[in-house]
Amino acid sequence: MAEALAKIPSVEIDPEGTFKYILVRVKITYLKALGLECQCLGGGKIEHSSTDTIIVFGESTAFGKADHSVTAEMLKSVFDVYEVTWSDEKK
C-alpha cells in the first residue's frame, strides 16, 4: 500500500501559465484493493509564473471551489522558494 501511495505526487503543475486544477483526496480505506479511491474536493485555477510566483484563485465549473488555502499550503511544500498566494476572487 505504501508503495502505491509513494507513486502519487502530492503536487503536480505545469511549468508556466494559467491552468485549471482540482484538489483530490485519496482515501485510504486500504485503497479499494489498490484500485485507489479518490474524492474531488473542488477546483479553481493556478497561475504559475517563471518569476517564482504562484497564484491560486477561481473555481471549477464542474466541481465547485476548492479550499484554496489547502492548495496553497500544498504548493508551498513543493515550491518552497516561490511566493504562493491565493484568493477567493475571480480573476
3-state secondary structure of 11: coil
Q: Is 20 annotated as a binding residue?
A: yes
Burial state string for 8-45 with b = 16 or more CB within 10 A and e = fewer than 16 = eeeeeeeeeeeeebebeeeeeeeeeeeeeeeeebbbbb
Annotated binding-site ranges for substrate: 20
Annotated binding-site ranges: 20
